[in-house]
Structure 1
Amino acid sequence: MIRVLLAEDQGLVSDALATLLGLEGDFDVVGTAGDGEEAVRKAAALRPDLALLDIEMPKMSGLDAATHILRDVRGVRGVRVVLLTTFVRPGYLRRALEAGVHGYLLKDGKVEQLAAHLRSIMAGQRVFDPALMMAAMEADNPLSAREMDVLRLAKRGFTTRQMAKELFLSEGTVRNYLSGALMKLGCSTRQEAIRKADEMGWL
């Protein structure tokens, strides 16, 4: 029996997926979580065989939760982490690979196909949806690491002065990084750049 932790912030989706996986016969949903922070806590407490995480969750994204689980929650056999998404955002794949996840799949497939992928992952394979792979290959991130840093802080509402303090940079350097990000993304405002980079999954 494959012990599954399911993290999904939409209750109806979570309930439906738990029920459908249960009908497969070899999956046991031992816990559910409504946000990323709860997913990390429950992974530590329950030690599931597999953590199935939605990417878009409150408090902590599935990407960040995956990183914490893979770094901090190691059972005897190890925890397999799979990300589910409805969004084909190129930057998400890169971040998923950096986190070391075992699978990255679209939500809109049939549960039988999802179950087959999860069994393959438990058998030692890594499974990534071809559509997500193709989207990632077609859209390279033009932003530097520092440009992404300042946009992430700007997204959180930091002022230029606060960003400079957080990143140990001068305010002028922060403004230069912001200007560079706007130019590369073809945007005229900070908010437009944040929105575009976020939609691509680069933040």
Structure 2
Amino acid sequence: MQHNADTIKVVIADDQELVRAGFALVIGTQDDMTVVGQAADGDEAVNLASELEPDVVLMDVRMPGMDGLEATRRISDLSPGRATTHVIILTTFDLDEYVMSAIRAGASGFLLKDTEPETLLSSIRTVYQGNAIIAPSATKRLIRQMALVGHQNDEDPTGMASDMTRHSSTRNASPRIRESTSGEEAAAYNDPEIDLLTERELEVLVEIAHGLSNQEIGDKLFISLPTVKTHVAHILQKINARDRVQAVVFAYENRLV
């Protein structure tokens, strides 16, 4: 199948042929995207990503041989001189433990397999444009995980548990204390980038961590959508986050939520 330079090239990696066929059927209805390859395991997914340089890979987690998380790590590590391949992890409700692993592996998105076709298609376009997506239900599970790990860290003076949430090995600054403007208990922050954020940017970051979309943030904070987008761009730049998913991790690491 021929495609122009603006067509989003997609590879589907799933060990179930019917699942691959279903996703391919949905994607095939779109004029701006095409399926260039299908993989039944992680090894094949990595090979196809290297050979075809797709824009997006839809990656199952549980596959025989190399699983989707390891395949995502390897795709993320492909030579820097080539075009970027974004990975969207696809999984089911019972795989809570994979949310953080997918983020650490370099995934740009995390969706549930029963997501609506329209959501799947819009998510592919979103990560193709360099942004990140995470299913609202997955965001809630991520929040629970981050809260749990934060509690474990409070009870872990050795700091061993904190390794579960580190998304960057360079973030080793000693926690600092900032007094809450609302008179609430003072909070400890691990990252100096926090001081670079304005009060409004902090508010937006908190809502990102709660899983709100740009439109929902605008409605809640009574600001326009373009203004929200500007704040989000500034936040990601200031905290050195690749995408919204890393911003969620950053917010929880620094106990903003």
TM-score tier (shorter)? 0.5 to 0.7
TM-score, normalization: structure 2?
0.53
Task: Give yes or no for the alignment of 1:12 onto 2:12.
Answer: no
Give 1:81 deviation, angstroms.
1.0
Give 1:14 deviation, angstroms.
0.5
Distance in 2, matches of 1:62 and 1:74, equals 21
Q: 1:40 touches 1:65 (CA, 8 Å); kept in 2? A: yes
Give 1:65 deviation, angstroms.
0.5
The 5 Å alignment of 1:144-163 reads none
Task: Give yes or no for the alignment of 1:59 onto 2:65.
Answer: yes
Per the alignment, residue 52 of structure 2 pairs with: 46
Per the alignment, residue 107 of structure 1 pairs with: 113
Give 1:43 deviation, angstroms.
0.9
Per residue, is there more helix in 1 or in 2? 1
Distance in 2, matches of 1:132 and 1:6, equals 21
Per the alignment, residue 120 of structure 1 pairs with: 126
Q: Once superposed, which parts of structure 1, at least 4 consecutive aligned residues long, lie more than 6 Å away?
A: none
Match of 1:72 among 73, 78, 88: 78
Letter in 2 for 1:57: M
Alpha-carbon distance change, 35 to 73 in structure 1, aligned in 2, over 3 angstroms? farther
Cα deviations across residues 144-202 of structure 1 (Å, max 9, x unaligned)? Answer: 67xx9xxxxxxxxxxxxxxxxxxxxxxxxxxxxxxxxxxxxxxxxxxxxxxxxxxxxxx
SS in structure 1 at match of 2:57: strand
Alpha-carbon distance change, 86 to 60 in structure 1, aligned in 2, over 3 angstroms? same
Q: 1:44 touches 1:73 (CA, 8 Å); kept in 2? A: no
Distance in 1, matches of 2:32 and 2:134, equals 22
TM-score, normalization: structure 1?
0.66
SS in structure 2 at match of 1:6: strand
Give 1:89 deviation, angstroms.
2.9
Alpha-carbon distance change, 81 to 67 in structure 1, aligned in 2, over 3 angstroms? same
Q: 1:8 touches 1:54 (CA, 8 Å); kept in 2? A: yes
Give 1:121 deviation, angstroms.
1.1
SS in structure 1 at match of 2:111: strand
Match of 2:135 among 129, 139, 155: 129
Q: 2:14 touches 2:59 (CA, 8 Å); kept in 1? A: yes
RMSD over aligned Cα atoms: 2.0
Give 1:55 deviation, angstroms.
1.0
Match of 2:28 among 22, 33, 46: 22
Letter in 1 for 2:118: E
Per the alignment, residue 91 of structure 1 pairs with: 97
Q: 1:36 touches 1:60 (CA, 8 Å); kept in 2? A: yes
Cα deviations across residues 18-62 of structure 1 (Å, max 9, x unaligned)? Answer: 011110221110000001111111111111111110111111111
The percent of aligned pairs where both chains have the same amino acid is 37
SS in structure 1 at match of 2:101: helix
Q: 1:52 touches 1:82 (CA, 8 Å); kept in 2? A: yes
SS in structure 1 at match of 2:122: helix
Q: 1:43 touches 1:73 (CA, 8 Å); kept in 2? A: no
Matched pairs, number: 146
Q: For CA contacts below 8 A with separation 6 or more, give which structure has more relative contact order.
A: 1
